Amino acid sequence: MPVASAPAGLAQSNEEPKSPGPLYGWAMLWTLLGIFAGGMALNLTPCVYPLIPITVSYFGGQAARGGQGQGKLVVHGLCYLMGLAVTNSVLGVVASLTGGLMGAMLQNPIVLMVVAVVLISFATSLFGLWEMRLPSGLTQAAAKSYTGYFGSLFMGLTLGVVAAPCIGPFVLGLLTWVASMASPWLGFLIFFTLSLGLGLPLFLLAMFSGQLERLPRSGGWMNWVRSFMGWVLVAMAVHFIRPVLPGHWGTVLLALVALAAGLHLGWIDKNQAGFRAFPWLKGGVGIACLVLAAFLITSWVMQGPGVTWKPYTDETLQAARSSKRPVIIDFYATWCTPCRELEEVTFHDAAVVKQAESDFVMVKVDVTKGGNPLHERLLREYEVKGVPTIVFLDSNGKERQDLRLVDYLPPDQFLGRMAQVKKDGG
């Protein structure tokens, strides 16, 4: 993430290959699966669900006209998916291209609070407190019907407009999150995945249109789905304001959101459905949210003491060289997601804490706010291009460039780097 206030225009370091943004590895996989599931859930909202039989009937009619049966139906379905993917993916890329500006703005606590308020306001729309409406002319234009493959493509392109009252708040909230990551390819991937989740059920139903009568009837249960998506936006709002919350209050607030969502979705919400599995679904989601809340609270309560950091001074480094102790310098910012993950996970790991206390001098340079002459000198001296950046100095005070860290690293791998700089220094 960029530190706009640094004179050199601090940005993510390119010294090591890494995935842009806060998503990488298993975190990316689980996030994309969650977004795919969210896209599928959007099909169950009151604005999209009634379109399912209309869309499936349209596909069937188009295929019947050409007399080519199932093969042509597949092509129409793919055109529909392509139109849906193009619309959403373009939105994701455009949003991410504003990320440099968004990343700089996200240093400001006021901006973070405004973003959270916007997400909460979108969530209240999904809770049914107000309705998002587009101009009638735009809605009528999007509802026009065309024949042929272009007609299927057009339906996919305009689904977002027709269904905007239900899916608009969720999509806008997701756009805000994507913009904060400043990665066009990641913006494309996230919204392409959302499009697959939204369009794939319609595609499959079109292929097996004979099963359409087995779908549950519209009812109050679709409002329950809207409420579920609203709680997702509330959780995203908490994610945005975590950097301005002291200590572990961000984790505590997330746990409270999970608790409230579980109670509301599982038991307080009285919407019902005509199919027997719905009460089990409500109870399952409620219990899952309560388990998540319990896990967050337990992880916070049971978390041991973290690394004890010293502020940077030339005297501290001189004393470390005199005592032949290696030094770890952590360039950190509160708005930086990998920085916080390092602090909350790696630097609270018992083995890392033990090694740090016994064999290392641990120094933290907090560049959350610019304008500090000492910090600006250190950024130039160590050629720091972004945060997080962790510098390893051996017992002679020389940096091990090959060990420099510019992203999150799990405790076991971080211990390996600590052992390496300690061994070579000795």
Ramachandran region of residue 18, left (φ > 0), alpha (ψ -120 to 50) or beta? beta
Is 336 catalytic? The answer is yes
Beta bridge partners of 331: 365, 389
Kindly report the backbone phi and psi dihedral angles of residue 404, in degrees, each rounded to the nearest multiple of 5, phi listed first: -55, 135
The helix or strand, by DSSP H or E, that contains position 52, with its residue range, turns out to be: helix 51-66
Is 79 catalytic? The answer is no
Contact 362, 343 (CB under 8 A): no
Nearest to 416 by CA among 361, 332, 349: 349
List the catalytic residue out of 47, 166, 289, 336.
336
**DSSP notation for 207-238:** HTGGGGGGSPPPSTHHHHHHHHHHHHHHHHHH
List the catalytic residue out of 47, 79, 166, 339.
339
Cα dist. 294→34, 233, 283, 348 in Å? 20, 20, 16, 20
Structure tokens, 365: 């340079």
d(CA 198, CA 38): 8
Q: Which residues are catalytic?
A: 336, 339
